[in-house]
Amino acid sequence: MLSEQSRPVIEATLPVIGERIGEITPKFYARLFTAHPELLDGMFSRANQQNGTQQRALAGSIAAFASHLLAHPDTLPEAVLSRIAHKHAALGIPESGYPIVYDHLFAAIADDLGDACTPEVAAAWTEVYWLMADALIAIERGLYARQANDVMWAEWRVTAKEAAGAGSITFRLAPADETPVTRATPGQYVSVRVQLADGLHQARQYSLSDRVDSLTERVFTTKLDEGGEVSPFLHGHVNVGDVVELSNPYGDIELDDTDAPIVLATAGIGCTPSASILQSLAGSASRRPVLVLHAEQRAENWALEAQMREAVAALPNAELRLWLEEPTTAADAEAGFMSLDGVEMPAGAKLYLCGPLPFMRSIRSQAIAAGVAPTDIHYEVFGPDVWLAA
Ligand code: HEM
């Protein structure tokens, strides 16, 4: 809980920090990577640094955390912390990184605010930082402890590389070393780490896209991001027989074991976590009502179409609705963007969202208007979660 001394200082300075944080974070990262260039080798994404999304996510999360402490002094924003901690754990962020980030962040704040960064202001924001850092460290410790091993990167060999809709590929992998395998849960992701042509390691998170209960196989599907670094490498240079490094599975989407209806609303390559959830429901012959809502620009882009249709057909209480921006002959598709008008949301449904942010924002608002409880809405963002900053 925020101390009595710090509370009024945070209240008074949150707007200034909020306004300046867009300037502070690039300065912070420039300092951090000058002092620790090794953090760009396999930990931070070079692409996200270049496009600024990671900087907005971090900035947004600290401001969101401080606002939460002011509004709800007795609680922590669990969902925000959990999302970040899972991402951190999937990248092997060590506890020893927190004082390093603190030093460079606060040097950047002092530099940016100048005289306005009085000792009281610095002390109050230091308190916010460590409340957040300690909460993250505690969750991350718990996540590491849950794994079947204490290995950050295990070797996995590609056993199949399958086309999965225009521009997407499914990789199937088997363990290539003796590391004990952690069983994943549906909707989770793994980090995939590769060494690029210039020698730099880069890691990205990919949702597991098939059944996740296997201890001898991991399956993920990636869409080619032509401006990216890792998906072009995977698509172009990683073939059957090659070895890549995978993290343990992380990600805080959780499929509860109640009988509540499930609505999976996805767009584009956001179908991958849904596909693993569907496989797992079909694998356990679930009788839960399942409504699958999926949107694509074009029919041929739909990665995992066959797998998802088969799972829906195998489930006794599942229904699929499809929207296509450019409808073709697919008989069961509606034209245009997904809309919940005319979709009957089952009472008490758990809604899982995955897709581009504007899509998720729109469906979330429509779902709430249709009576879905905000606490029953779960989402997965690919890439840094700039929703946190909103
Ligand atoms: C990702 C916040 C400490 C390394 C993130 C994200 C947030 C965040 C909001 C984006 C999560 C998402 O994908 O949605 C914080 C906060 C920290 C902290 C508030 C301290 C209180 C650290 C430390 C390190 C670190 C100590 C390592 C030295 C990373 C990396 C990513 C990340 C590598 C993924 C970034 C990427 O995509 O390039 N963090 N973080 N963070 N964080 Fe942290």
Same domain, 127 and 167: no
For 2, residues 6+ apart whose C-beta sits below 8 A from its C-beta are: 10, 69, 70, 73, 127, 128, 131
Confidence check: pLDDT of 390 > 50: no
* Residue 380 confidence (pLDDT): 83
* Residue 163 confidence (pLDDT): 93
From the CB of 45, is ligand 1 less than 6 Å away?
Answer: yes
- Expressed in angstroms and rounded, the spacing between residue 383 Cα and the centre of ligand 1 is 12
Confidence check: pLDDT of 20 > 80: yes
Same domain, 89 and 193: no
Same domain, 168 and 296: no
Confidence check: pLDDT of 11 > 50: yes
202 contacts 194 by C-beta, under 8 angstroms? yes
Would you say residue 284 lies in a domain? yes
Same domain, 160 and 139: no
Would you say residue 387 lies in a domain? no
Would you say residue 389 lies in a domain? no
H helix runs in the chain, sequence order: 6-35, 46-51, 53-71, 78-91, 97-113, 119-145, 230-237, 271-283, 305-314, 357-369
Structural domain boundaries enclosing 301: 262-380
The span from the CA of 235 to the CA of 66, in Å, is 41
Residue nearest atom 8 in ligand 1 by C-alpha distance: 58
Burial 117-144 (b: 16+ CB within 10 A, else e): beeebeebbebbbebbbebbbebbeebb
- Residue 119 sits in a domain whose CATH number is 1.10.490.10
* Residue 316 confidence (pLDDT): 96
For the question of residue 144 being annotated catalytic, the response is no
Catalytic residue among 29, 98, 129, 379: 98
- Expressed in angstroms and rounded, the spacing between residue 53 Cα and the centre of ligand 1 is 11
149 contacts 241 by C-beta, under 8 angstroms? no
Same domain, 285 and 196: no
Would you say residue 254 lies in a domain? no
101 contacts 29 by C-beta, under 8 angstroms? no
Which atom of ligand 1 is nearest the CA belonging to 93? Answer: 27
158 contacts 242 by C-beta, under 8 angstroms? yes
Same domain, 93 and 136: yes
* Residue 332 confidence (pLDDT): 83
CA angle 232, 234, 239 (to 5 degrees): 130
- Expressed in angstroms and rounded, the spacing between residue 40 Cα and the centre of ligand 1 is 13
Would you say residue 208 lies in a domain? yes
Same domain, 283 and 230: no
Would you say residue 1 lies in a domain? no
pTM: 0.93
324 contacts 189 by C-beta, under 8 angstroms? no
Which atom of ligand 1 is nearest the CA belonging to 205? Answer: 37
Catalytic residue among 140, 296, 305, 380: 140
Same domain, 288 and 208: no
Same domain, 116 and 67: yes
Would you say residue 358 lies in a domain? yes
- Residue 187 sits in a domain whose CATH number is 2.40.30.10
Would you say residue 302 lies in a domain? yes
Same domain, 229 and 121: no
> Residues 42-55: what's their mean pLDDT?
78
Q: How long a stretch of residues is the chain?
A: 390
- Residue 286 sits in a domain whose CATH number is 3.40.50.80
Our separate counts of H helices and E strands in the chain read 10, 12
From the CB of 211, is ligand 1 less than 6 Å away?
Answer: no
Residue 39 CB neighbour total at 10 angstroms:
16
* Residue 384 confidence (pLDDT): 60
* Alpha-carbon radius of gyration of the chain: 22
60 contacts 390 by C-beta, under 8 angstroms? yes
- Expressed in angstroms and rounded, the spacing between residue 84 Cα and the centre of ligand 1 is 7
Residue nearest atom 34 in ligand 1 by C-alpha distance: 44
Give the pLDDT confidence of 148-177 residue by residue, as tens digits: 999 999 999 999 999 998 999 999 999 999
Same domain, 273 and 172: no
Model confidence band, residue 139 (pLDDT cutoffs 50, 70, 90):
very high
Please identify, among 246, 272, 290, the residue that sits at the C-terminal boundary of a domain.
246
From the CB of 133, is ligand 1 less than 6 Å away?
Answer: yes
For the question of residue 189 being annotated catalytic, the response is no
The 8-class DSSP code of residue 250 comes to: B
156 contacts 246 by C-beta, under 8 angstroms? yes
Percentage of the chain exceeding pLDDT 90: 75
Please identify, among 86, 113, 145, the residue that sits at the C-terminal boundary of a domain.
145
H helix runs in 177-254, sequence order: 230-237
136 contacts 84 by C-beta, under 8 angstroms? yes
Structure tokens at 224: 């080619």
- Regarding beta strands 333-335 and 318-324, do their DSSP bridges make them parallel or antiparallel, or are they unpaired? parallel
Which mutation among 38, 62, 69, 101 tests ligand 1's pocket best, with the greatest number of atoms within 8 A of CB? 101
Which contacts of 17-23 are long-range, i.e. CB under 8 A and separated by 24 or more positions?
17/63, 17/66, 17/109, 17/125, 18/63, 20/112, 20/113, 21/59, 21/62, 21/63, 22/56, 22/59, 23/112
- Average pLDDT of the chain? 91
10 Å CB burial of residue 237 (0-12, 13-18, 19+) is exposed
The total domain count for the chain is 3
Same domain, 40 and 129: yes
Please identify, among 213, 246, 279, the residue that sits at the C-terminal boundary of a domain.
246
How far is Cα of residue 37 from the mean position of the Cα atoms in its chain? 25
